[in-house]
Amino acid sequence: MGIKGALAEKGFSDAEWLDSIDRVIARCMPESTRKQDRSRQREKEILRAAMRVFARDGLSSARISDIAAEAGIPISTIYEYYSGKEEIAHAVPVAHMCRFFQEYRALSEKKSTAYDHVWNYLHLSADFARRNPDWARSLYLEIWPSVSVAQGEIKELFDDYVRILIRAIRMGEVRGEWPAGHNHYETAAIMIGAVNQMIITWLMMRKPKDLSKSVAAMLDRAMILLDAVNPPPSRA
């Protein structure tokens, strides 16, 4: 493989790619400290209820009592599990984000180009939101971005999200799929921003009708900015 192969070994082999994702998954894997089975069940049920209520009413006007009613448990029991609305709001994204990374890991297992890694990552982001609309509404419309998230554990999660994309972009450079020289953060900002914008528009007005397809078409176009040496055919 010559130079390309040698560089690919320096931190950007397929194995190391999967490792880096595994590290993120390990970090966000929620380890319930609950001892009893019913309690672990309830913990999840509260989150599911909160997700629905946040998606319906918005974080600001959601009431603890509504979450309790939705979950079918007394209000005070909520406090047995979470210290308040703030903490619930923070737990909601974590709950599903890890599954997103897991799904992406599965996609990454088949040997792929860096182009595919980038494309799949961004496209899965949109498709995952489409398949989990309550979660997506809570996350994209209420919790991220939000002043309360600017510091803390969740910020780490979002940093990880960006980091993975940047790593894939660097992989493409190292492997010679596109030229070096562009600012990685800039490239990532354009791609993530464009995808988020489409997701948010879809969540707010169900337009475009087919989110997955529209994002696929948009990505085919946005990926031009990478100046790939051998751009693959459209996937849209």
User: CA–CA separation, 50 vs 64, rounded Å?
Assistant: 8
User: CA–CA separation, 224 vs 120, rounded Å?
Assistant: 15
* Least CB distance to DNA at residue 49 (A): 13
Give the nearer residue to DNA in terms of CB position, either 40 or 131. Answer: 40
Which residues contact DNA by CB under 7 A? 34-39, 42, 62-65, 73-77, 79-80, 83-85
Cα-to-chain-centroid distance, residue 12: 22
Write the binding mask 27 to 56 for a second copy: x where contact by CB under 8 A, - elsewhere. ---------------------------xxx
Contact 47, 92 (CB under 8 A): yes
* Least CB distance to a second copy at residue 140 (A): 7
Give the nearer residue to DNA in terms of CB position, either 28 or 62. Answer: 62
Tell me how far CA of residue 5 lies from CA of 77, 118, 152, in angstroms.
Answer: 57, 20, 39
How is 75-102 classified by DSSP, letter by letter?
HHHHHHH-SSHHHHHHHHHHHHHHHHHH
Give the nearer residue to a second copy in terms of CB position, either 30 or 84. Answer: 84
Give the nearer residue to DNA in terms of CB position, either 50 or 195. Answer: 50
Sign of CA dihedral 150, 156, 158, 163: positive
Considering only residues 194 to 213 of the shown chain, the ones binding a second copy according to CB under 8 A are: 194-198, 200-201, 203-205, 208
| Binding at 39: pick from DNA, a second copy, none (beta carbon under 5-8 Å per type) | DNA
| Binding at 18: pick from DNA, a second copy, none (beta carbon under 5-8 Å per type) | none
